[in-house]
Amino acid sequence: MCLPITNKYINIFRLTKTGRRSLSHSISHSSTDSNSSGGSDAENPEDEVSPRDMQQINSKGNMDFCIKNIKLADFGRREIELAEDEMTALMALRKAAQGEKPLAAAKIVGCTHVTAQTAVLFETLKVLGAQCRWAACNIYSTQDEVAAALAEQDFPVFAWKGESEDDFWWCIDRCVNVEGWEPNMILDDGGDMTHWIYKKYPHLFKKVKGIVEESITGIHRLHQLSKAGKLCVPAINVNDSVTKQKFDNLYCCRESILDSLKKTTDIMFGGKQVAICGYGEVGKGCSAALKAMGSVVYVTEIDPICALQACMDGFRLAKLGDVVRHVDMVITCTGNKNVVVREHMDLMKNGCVVCNMGRSNTEIDVNSLQTPELVWQHVRAQVDHIIWPDGKRIVLLAEGRVLNLSSSTVPIYVLSITATTQALALIELFNAPEGRYKQDVYLLPKKLDEYVASLHLQTFDAHLTELTDEQAKYMGLSKYGPFKPSYYR
Amino acid sequence: MCLPITNKYINIFRLTKTGRRSLSHSISHSSTDSNSSGGSDAENPEDEVSPRDMQQINSKGNMDFCIKNIKLADFGRREIELAEDEMTALMALRKAAQGEKPLAAAKIVGCTHVTAQTAVLFETLKVLGAQCRWAACNIYSTQDEVAAALAEQDFPVFAWKGESEDDFWWCIDRCVNVEGWEPNMILDDGGDMTHWIYKKYPHLFKKVKGIVEESITGIHRLHQLSKAGKLCVPAINVNDSVTKQKFDNLYCCRESILDSLKKTTDIMFGGKQVAICGYGEVGKGCSAALKAMGSVVYVTEIDPICALQACMDGFRLAKLGDVVRHVDMVITCTGNKNVVVREHMDLMKNGCVVCNMGRSNTEIDVNSLQTPELVWQHVRAQVDHIIWPDGKRIVLLAEGRVLNLSSSTVPIYVLSITATTQALALIELFNAPEGRYKQDVYLLPKKLDEYVASLHLQTFDAHLTELTDEQAKYMGLSKYGPFKPSYYR
Amino acid sequence: MCLPITNKYINIFRLTKTGRRSLSHSISHSSTDSNSSGGSDAENPEDEVSPRDMQQINSKGNMDFCIKNIKLADFGRREIELAEDEMTALMALRKAAQGEKPLAAAKIVGCTHVTAQTAVLFETLKVLGAQCRWAACNIYSTQDEVAAALAEQDFPVFAWKGESEDDFWWCIDRCVNVEGWEPNMILDDGGDMTHWIYKKYPHLFKKVKGIVEESITGIHRLHQLSKAGKLCVPAINVNDSVTKQKFDNLYCCRESILDSLKKTTDIMFGGKQVAICGYGEVGKGCSAALKAMGSVVYVTEIDPICALQACMDGFRLAKLGDVVRHVDMVITCTGNKNVVVREHMDLMKNGCVVCNMGRSNTEIDVNSLQTPELVWQHVRAQVDHIIWPDGKRIVLLAEGRVLNLSSSTVPIYVLSITATTQALALIELFNAPEGRYKQDVYLLPKKLDEYVASLHLQTFDAHLTELTDEQAKYMGLSKYGPFKPSYYR
Amino acid sequence: MCLPITNKYINIFRLTKTGRRSLSHSISHSSTDSNSSGGSDAENPEDEVSPRDMQQINSKGNMDFCIKNIKLADFGRREIELAEDEMTALMALRKAAQGEKPLAAAKIVGCTHVTAQTAVLFETLKVLGAQCRWAACNIYSTQDEVAAALAEQDFPVFAWKGESEDDFWWCIDRCVNVEGWEPNMILDDGGDMTHWIYKKYPHLFKKVKGIVEESITGIHRLHQLSKAGKLCVPAINVNDSVTKQKFDNLYCCRESILDSLKKTTDIMFGGKQVAICGYGEVGKGCSAALKAMGSVVYVTEIDPICALQACMDGFRLAKLGDVVRHVDMVITCTGNKNVVVREHMDLMKNGCVVCNMGRSNTEIDVNSLQTPELVWQHVRAQVDHIIWPDGKRIVLLAEGRVLNLSSSTVPIYVLSITATTQALALIELFNAPEGRYKQDVYLLPKKLDEYVASLHLQTFDAHLTELTDEQAKYMGLSKYGPFKPSYYR
């Protein structure tokens, strides 16, 4: 049975919620610095009234939404169209499945960022047959003009940039607390929608066929519920599908480490000595990128297998303490805590750059730098100098938080992979035969994961080979996948 | 109950048995082309007598062995000592465990190649407390001087270079058919020892605690037995442990593809266009190596996830038929059959090199080239020209069999990984508490796999980081591993 | 005899003057976005008065300068000190030569950017014995607080941010038109100081021992003067010394192409197809960087030798017209004109990014896009979309001007190489024995070029090997260089 | 005037003559290990008679040649045809120029290796109008069947495998000492032909229009003659043209260092630490290759500019003495002497591999290892172990001589570049207008060097871009080159 969760539980959740970057300054984001085209900022003065206090109506007479300003719809529609141009994989899925309507009868409540890219996702869900209601998962990230474009198309969206905490939950509530409409699917990013339903409307879970969750935080919550025996519907963890993981960690970080470092410092990579802590996917991406730019990279690892890979890839494996005196940069990618501690930083040479590409903000012990003898100098956004009594300064980026979340944008390609994975997870859970999924947290089935990849191959003008019947038989595989066991990475 | 296997079953086994390369021309193999030092060839004339017909005796009066020539012992001992110098990881294990003697009471029958490197393994097993008896798994691969050195040390070894089929089984029988001695562990490479016991002495399985099998063929046999409900002891598949796999496939092939191509042709890699079929570990290794040498690489794949990785690594993904006309080389790495067929070869340009780095000899349809209009010209070892009526010739390497098995040597480092994994698998199976392993085929436990890696790190002067107590707790890990879930690669 | 140059000549110069990027947002540039520390912007209101109309006086009572605000001196001094920390090579030179004072009696007029980094150069010249007077070579680039710090130290500097054209020449004139002081060396960046002296005070050339010029434009002017027989003193072309060239073109571009593309678009490099026009140093840098990030790179070339290098480095050599339909990016690096023309752009696919990393703004025929049927949409700084009637849009960066000049910063390391080269060129020209240099344009002597490199090696904790006497003799070299013929690159 | 050279001079020459590798086991070298097809070895017994003592006659009745066995002609012709297939660039030149006959009236005496590839060169010269006479430049390298094929076509060739020193000079003499025929061009590889004419027939130089010399030794001799004022005709140094140099040093070594190491040892490159002495073209090639295979590379340099390049390419710059204790390999590429000395070797760790890829055999002080306390063990071809009293052994390859000359083959592609360069140099010298070349040693003109490159681009299906008229004018270039100044590399 699904019990409501106590308030105390909520607070714990809020405290541990990890920020997710999800915004792209893609070629479609003309709005962000081009007001001339009639953007939202020009309207600011009259927007001082809270959206909750305004009654807006779209051109068709519909009022089931709550957004900043319905007049921004045209501009938002252009943004969405540009995003459609770039999210070819998701659009291909939309086209392929629109006849079949695999989400007919699905009633989805969504709680994600509200941006041009996610709008393409939600409009795809609609084309595939779903009814949706949608709130923002972040009080700052909503693109108001996109929300307006959706509202203009009768899409029930409740989100604006600059919500208060109270607004945030009010919007979520407006999605689920509807007369005569009960959701049967949840699309969540951070677990807030799920949490709200658990807390306020647990009876709704009777009809819910599943939850699709994107964020690490939300997945952590679901696992906790599952352990506690309180998870009462199946859930799919979208974050850990192979395709998404490889892009988020390996391929994306390979590019964003360079990007982030250049945006915050003007360090030249050639010839620099760099210590990279951790040789998982993120560490592999960072190491490869810096090596390619001419840096000399030292790797630290605790796992001998990853360590041996680092050796075979041409990196010196060292303990941080043994190289920290002479490196020009230290980058953490371990997912662990206190990887770089005060003792290390005391040994660093003048000008050493310290930053974190791992998952938590615990990898660098920033607290240990909050002592009277050290002077902090805020140099520019994301950059602090910490100055030792003898004049030595280290350059701390993003205060030890994840560097590329704050100093880099997510390529739209990666957003497309996420959105496509979410759509397929919804389709899978909604259509799965009784019994395929229990009250547990699942990964996307391998075959669908492969399908996400195949949709994204098209961008590269890449041509897959098809198994012949004879080959499929020889290998004991279906011609249409899955081609590897589920654990294969 | 363990039933004897019928003769028909044997034949199937023999037919499908895949050759394993296992020989290294390491720095210790001075014997192979330096007879001056008193090697075996000088003695050939008198060796015409079969070892089975000679009664040899070592300096201690022991006769429980059957080898080519006990007089070669000194020379063989030097070989073994050189191998010990290079197999630092295995020697470190020997040293670490010699006090504890984890194999005390173990009685191991072994059937593997008999070389300096495997001698280091068997002598290690002995130091760890085991009694061993040993036959060769291949009729050609025995180093006679090494066998002599072992025999001189009272090691019951039954093997010589150039055994007949009958000799082969006779030697195996001499290992198991011993009065007053019954094996309790099997170390196999190809499954022949296991097979023989099943066939002739099934009662021995009552005391056997487990089988450690190295070859793909042998593992395949074990899985068939398991499926058929006939596997009556636990087995550990040594071949598929993470450390071994990465080396056999990715790291080794990255080097041996270049090596093998240079040894068979004098092709220059720079600027050449190459089609690589398959982007698994072997394909990744081959692609990376040729890209690094300045080749333009096209990749073919059936699995969209691997295909997307190829794209992100900078390779054009294509169908073979679309690029086969203009490439200078085609390399198969799929594990599948008929990947390169006659239609492809008809389209290839003059001088195109065709070879296979995958697992089987089925990837290139060599049979389709056995037609009257094509002329085969044997150019040198491992190299045939197939000449079309219009004069076009393609260069077929190793007749389509696995190229690096025949044209490259296995680095001793890789042999060391195999041997160390075998030793640890024996220790694990022999000491496992009742019930840990059932009558099934297992992988080496992750923690031991990590241990193999850690022993091999020493060669690189590589320094692992140790988790602090606080970090281990934060990660929910033991400080001593395993550090990753078992499926992590 | 040195004749004054006519006004007409000036105008030609001004039209062809190419912008040089020279600003770094190095770790020392705390001023740029940190006003809290008491920066210049706070003082803006009172600064509305032109510096020319204010009489400022430093703490020592000196008034021979003209800058924005002497009160900024402390802040500027900190900037200079931070720059000193980073320009270790130049500081090493300062230290090495301060005893010898090789510029004693030198009277240098300088016209360069006025920034913390160039301040380190000028203060070095002073330490080495020179008297200097200094004006800015650019009306926008002066760091006012740095100018203040110099003025406070009695350095005659005439420069502020936001000069008018008239101010610009007035400042230059204040440097040379001094009673009782005549320059004997010119340090120029753009040729304006040289031009002004030619025009107004040609008699000064009688005492001038040489000109050191940094910019391509200035060097072009000097070559024109030389061809016209009007160059009346020796000049050293600092721009084309080997060390500087390698850094400006190969190493810097390898990093800044990625940086610039990420700062203007959020394109992901992995899997993208890119055409790079030109395979000189810049093209080599761009190609290597994008290949390392997983792009598929096509190269176009006119020179067969560079083309063959591209092939050997693993790039497909193609004509732009043959690949332009399917590439995702086109990057010009040729130094030529109309490399990308309208016909190419008509064929590009939707979303194709077009940019220039070459030297001129002529490589992309941007004018051809100024036609009625194409819509220009300014998306953000440095980014325009050009939209075809069918909706196709190409993404034009920096309007076809050199991308990394506008979208990337120059690493301080490269500025240090330039400054060190300038200092050594001044020392060389000032001390050269009669007759070593004639009225012509020279490169820095190889040996000094090597010295610049050796000073910069220290940053990398790099240890040069010294020739033994025996080796030097064997090679026919001096132990102290030069080690290569002057043409060796 | 051209004076005969004294005998003493000869001896010096002979002593310093450096071996040149020039043999390829290209796909055409079926002869080398396939005697079954009717090769020369079968005929050995009757061949015991010296060719000088036999009177052979070809099928046309011609006897003006001296070779091993005219019966081998058919087999040799096939070899030549196969080489033609692969030397597409030279064949393209043959085709392009056969109408024009630029060598009509040329009388060329050649002294080079006599192989299938050089046969393609000489037959090309004939097609272009030249009369040639040809001797071998090496007593071992002649392919007898190729010589036979040439003789059968009335080509006056004097060469066989296994000549005595006396035979060697006799053959050369037969080329020049001909009644009624005087050479007017010399094609030399090692300077022996040139030397012989200087010594015996100096009067011939009156008609000689030039010398084309390929080897470093020969060029050294020519420079010595030039310095001594004794060079009486122009000479072209073929070895140092840009295209040839890049291939011989950078591209070829990038591949052959791996090849040579694998052929001599079975070392695995991944994770190994390697010291590379010298970062010129050879060092750059070796470093890049080993880095790509996962080695950790340290570079030593004397030239700060090359040193800085090493840093920017990601290599640690060190002194050999500082890293020699822990590296697994030391590779010399300096061109200098005593780069690795006994002190270094005393410090090396057990198993360290030492080899030379530079030009001389002086880089490793092998003599210093010839001391009583060290034991030399010859392990296999090109491999010696040097054993220290404490048991430590180092692995010395090729006794310190140039490793890839003995342990690798030259790709036919590189031979083609050499041959094409030689042909163009002959055409240039023969047709140059009076006065273009003086009695000096020249490089191939840039434009022809570019032409060699362009002919070789075809292999790669590479497409050069052509300058438009407008572009050529803008750049101040001819549309047909040269595109770079002569010193540009």
CA distance B418 to B238: 8
Residue A215: count of CB within 10 angstroms of its CB: 23
Which positions in chain A touch B462 (Cβ < 8 Å)? 307-308, 310-311, 316-318
Domain annotation covers residue D446: no
Q: What is the dihedral of CA D405, D410, D414, D419, to 10 degrees?
A: 80
Could you give the strand order of the β-sheet that contains B157-158, starting from the edge strand earlier in sequence? Answer: B157-158, B131-136, B107-112, B185-188, B210-213, B235-237, B441-443
pLDDT above 90: residue C20: no
Q: Among B463, B468, B489, which would you mutate to test the A interface (most chain A Cβ atoms within 10 Å of its Cβ)?
A: B463
| pLDDT value for D412 | 87
A216 & A314 share domain? no
Which positions in chain C touch D466 (Cβ < 8 Å)? 302
At C108 the three-state DSSP class reads strand
Domain annotation covers residue C301: yes
B192 is in an annotated binding site: no
CA distance C104 to A159: 71
B189 is in an annotated binding site: yes
Kindly state the DSSP code that residue C274 receives in the 8-state scheme: E
Long-range contacts (CB closer than 8 Å, 24 or more residues apart) made by D95-104: D97/D128, D97/D427, D98/D127, D98/D128, D100/D128, D101/D128, D101/D129, D102/D128, D102/D129, D102/D427, D102/D430, D102/D431, D103/D128, D103/D129, D103/D130, D103/D426, D103/D427, D103/D430, D104/D128, D104/D129, D104/D130
For residue C135, give Cα distances in angstroms to A162, B203, C24, C160, C429: 48, 100, 19, 9, 21
C343 is in an annotated binding site: no
Chains that touch A (3 or more CB pairs under 8 A): B, C, D
C94: which 2 tokens?
Answer: 């300062």
Which positions in chain A touch C86 (Cβ < 8 Å)? 351
Angle at D120 between CA D116 and CA D126, to 5 degrees: 135
D151 & D275 share domain? no
B144 is in an annotated binding site: no
Highest mean pLDDT among A242-246, A362-366, B264-268: A362-366
Residues 269-298 of C with CB under 8 A from B: 270-271, 291, 293-296
| pLDDT value for C449 | 95
CA distance B431 to D452: 70
User: Which string of b and e fits A403-413 if b means at least 16 CB within 10 Å?
Assistant: bbbbbbbbbbb
Q: Cβ B266–D412 below 8 Å, yes or no?
A: yes
Which positions in chain C touch D475 (Cβ < 8 Å)? 335-336
Domain annotation covers residue A436: no
Q: What is the dihedral of CA D441, D444, D445, D449, to 10 degrees?
A: -160
| pLDDT value for B191 | 94
Q: Does A381 contact C at CB distance below 8 Å?
A: yes
At A383 the three-state DSSP class reads strand
Which positions in chain C touch B311 (Cβ < 8 Å)? 270-271, 294
A49 & A150 share domain? yes
The whole-number mean pLDDT for each consecutive block of 10 residues of chain D, a chain of 489 residues, reads 42 32 37 35 58 94 96 94 91 95 97 95 98 95 96 97 95 96 96 96 96 92 93 94 88 94 91 97 96 98 96 97 97 95 97 91 95 94 95 96 84 92 97 94 94 94 94 91 80
CA distance C133 to C144: 16
Q: Cβ A305–B449 below 8 Å, yes or no?
A: yes
C267 & C154 share domain? no
Question: Which residue of chain D comes nearest to C446, CA vs CA?
Answer: D305
CA distance A75 to D487: 58
Q: Cβ A295–D315 below 8 Å, yes or no?
A: no
Which positions in chain B touch A318 (Cβ < 8 Å)? 462-463
Q: Cβ A336–B475 below 8 Å, yes or no?
A: yes
Q: Cβ B259–D254 below 8 Å, yes or no?
A: no
Question: Which residue of chain A comes nearest to B288, CA vs CA?
Answer: A313
For residue A60, give Cα distances in angstroms to A440, B190, B326: 42, 75, 59
Bigger pLDDT: A302 or D248?
A302
User: Is the backbone peptide bond immediately before A482 cis, with ω within 30 degrees of 0?
Assistant: yes
Among B263, B270, B381, beta carbon nearest to D251: B270
Position B193, amino acid: M
Domain annotation covers residue B476: no
Position C253, amino acid: C
Q: Cβ B25–D266 below 8 Å, yes or no?
A: yes
C489 — pLDDT class (breaks 50, 70, 90): low
Q: Does A311 contact D at CB distance below 8 Å?
A: yes
Provide the shortest C-alpha distance from residue B442 to chain A (in Å): 16
pLDDT above 90: residue A484: no
C228 & C329 share domain? no
C203 & C303 share domain? no
**What would the mean pLDDT of C20-33 be, rounded to a whole number?**
37
Q: Cβ D313–A294 below 8 Å, yes or no?
A: yes
| pLDDT value for A35 | 33
CA distance C145 to A33: 30
> How far is the first Cα of chain C from the last one, in angstroms, to the nearest whole number?
36
Domain annotation covers residue D486: no
| pLDDT value for A2 | 52
CA distance D330 to C211: 46
CA distance D274 to D289: 12
For residue B151, give Cα distances in angstroms to A15, B74, B86: 70, 11, 22
**Residues 6 or more apart in contact with residue B180 via CB below 8 angstroms:** none
User: Which string of b and e fits A2-15 if b means at least 16 CB within 10 Å?
Assistant: beebeeeebeebee
Q: Does D221 contact C at CB distance below 8 Å?
A: no
Question: Which residue of chain A comes nearest to B483, CA vs CA?
Answer: A303
Helix ranges (DSSP H) in C68-143: 73-86, 88-97, 116-127
Q: Among C23, C27, C414, which would you mutate to test the A interface (most chain A Cβ atoms within 10 Å of its Cβ)?
A: C27
Q: Give the DSSP per-residue string, D49-99.
A: S-GGG-----TTS----B-S-GGGHHHHHHHHHHHHHH-HHHHHHHHHHTT
- Can you give the pLDDT of all 489 residues of chain B as single tens digits? 454 444 333 333 332 333 333 344 333 333 333 333 333 444 444 557 899 998 999 999 999 999 999 999 999 999 999 899 889 999 999 999 999 999 999 999 999 999 999 999 999 999 999 999 999 999 989 999 999 999 999 999 999 999 999 999 999 999 999 999 999 999 999 999 999 999 999 999 999 999 999 988 899 999 999 999 999 999 999 989 999 888 888 999 999 999 999 999 889 999 999 999 999 999 999 999 999 999 999 999 999 999 999 999 999 999 999 999 999 999 999 989 999 999 999 999 999 999 999 977 899 999 999 999 999 999 888 999 999 999 999 999 999 999 988 788 788 888 999 999 999 999 999 999 999 999 999 999 999 999 999 999 999 999 999 999 999 999 889 999 999 887 776
> How far is the first Cα of chain A from the last one, in angstroms, to the nearest whole number?
36
Among B294, B315, B316, beta carbon nearest to C313: B294
Which positions in chain A touch B307 (Cβ < 8 Å)? 453-454, 457, 462, 464
B355 & B298 share domain? yes
D285 is in an annotated binding site: yes
Handedness of CA B280, B284, B285, B286 (dihedral sign): positive
Q: Cβ B255–D293 below 8 Å, yes or no?
A: yes
Q: Does C301 contact D at CB distance below 8 Å?
A: yes
- The number of folded domains in chain D is 2
Q: Does C333 contact D at CB distance below 8 Å?
A: no
A132 & A264 share domain? no
C312 & C235 share domain? no
For residue D212, give Cα distances in angstroms to A396, D139, D233, D243, D366: 63, 21, 11, 16, 34
Q: Cβ B296–C316 below 8 Å, yes or no?
A: yes
Question: Which residue of chain A comes nearest to B323, CA vs CA?
Answer: A463
Q: Which of A348, D294, A316, A282 is nearest to B464 (CA)?
A: A316
Angle at B335 between CA B332 and CA B339, to 5 degrees: 50
- Which residue range forms the structural domain that includes residue A276? 250-407
B389: which 2 tokens?
Answer: 């009526």
Q: Does C85 contact A at CB distance below 8 Å?
A: yes
Domain annotation covers residue B171: yes
C402 & C421 share domain? no
Domain annotation covers residue B173: yes
For residue B436, give Cα distances in angstroms to A77, B184, B425, B444, B450: 62, 17, 13, 13, 19
Q: Is B66 exposed, middle or buried (0-12, 13-18, 19+ CB in 10 A)?
A: buried
Which positions in chain D touch C465 (Cβ < 8 Å)? 300-302, 319-320
Q: What is the pLDDT of residues A324-340, one digit of tens each?
A: 999 999 999 998 999 99
B157 & B183 share domain? yes
Q: What percent of chain C has pLDDT over 90?
A: 79
Which positions in chain B touch C315 (Cβ < 8 Å)? 296
Handedness of CA D473, D476, D482, D484 (dihedral sign): negative
Provide the shortest C-alpha distance from residue A80 to chain C (in Å): 15
Question: Which residue of chain B comes nearest to A462, CA vs CA?
Answer: B317
Residues in binding site of A for substrate: 115, 189, 214, 244, 248
Q: Domain of D196: which CATH number?
A: 3.40.50.1480
Element (H, E) at A393: strand A393-397
Which positions in chain A touch C395 (Cβ < 8 Å)? 27
Question: Which residue of chain A comes nearest to C83, CA vs CA?
Answer: A351
| pLDDT value for D325 | 97
Domain annotation covers residue D438: no
Provide the shortest C-alpha distance from residue C264 to chain D (in Å): 26
C129 is in an annotated binding site: no
CA distance C111 to C214: 10
Q: What is the pLDDT of residues D110-154, one digit of tens each?
A: 999 999 999 999 999 999 999 999 999 999 889 999 999 999 999
Q: Cβ D338–C470 below 8 Å, yes or no?
A: yes
Q: Domain of D315: which CATH number?
A: 3.40.50.720
Q: Among C311, C317, C322, C327, which would you mutate to test the B interface (most chain B Cβ atoms within 10 Å of its Cβ)?
A: C311
Contact assessment for residue A353 and residue A268, using Cβ atoms and an 8 Å cutoff = no
Question: Which residue of chain A comes nearest to B316, CA vs CA?
Answer: A462
Kindly state the DSSP code that residue D438 receives in the 8-state scheme: -
Q: Does D13 contact A at CB distance below 8 Å?
A: no
Among D296, D312, D313, beta carbon nearest to A314: D296
Q: What is the pLDDT of residues A29-87, one digit of tens each?
A: 333 333 333 334 444 445 578 999 989 999 999 999 999 999 999 999 999 998 998 89
Flag whether the ipTM exceeds 0.90: no
At C1 the three-state DSSP class reads coil
| pLDDT value for B85 | 87
Query: What secondary structure, in 3-state letters, does B58-104 show?
Result: CCCCCCCCECCCHHHHHHHHHHHHHHHHHCHHHHHHHHHHCCCCCCC
- Chain centre to alpha carbon of residue C417: 11
Among B303, B322, B453, beta carbon nearest to A308: B453
Q: Does C431 contact D at CB distance below 8 Å?
A: no
B292 & B209 share domain? no
Provide the shortest C-alpha distance from residue B11 to chain A (in Å): 21
C124 is in an annotated binding site: no
Q: Give the DSSP per-residue string, A438-467.
A: -SSEEEPPHHHHHHHHHHHHGGGT--PPPP
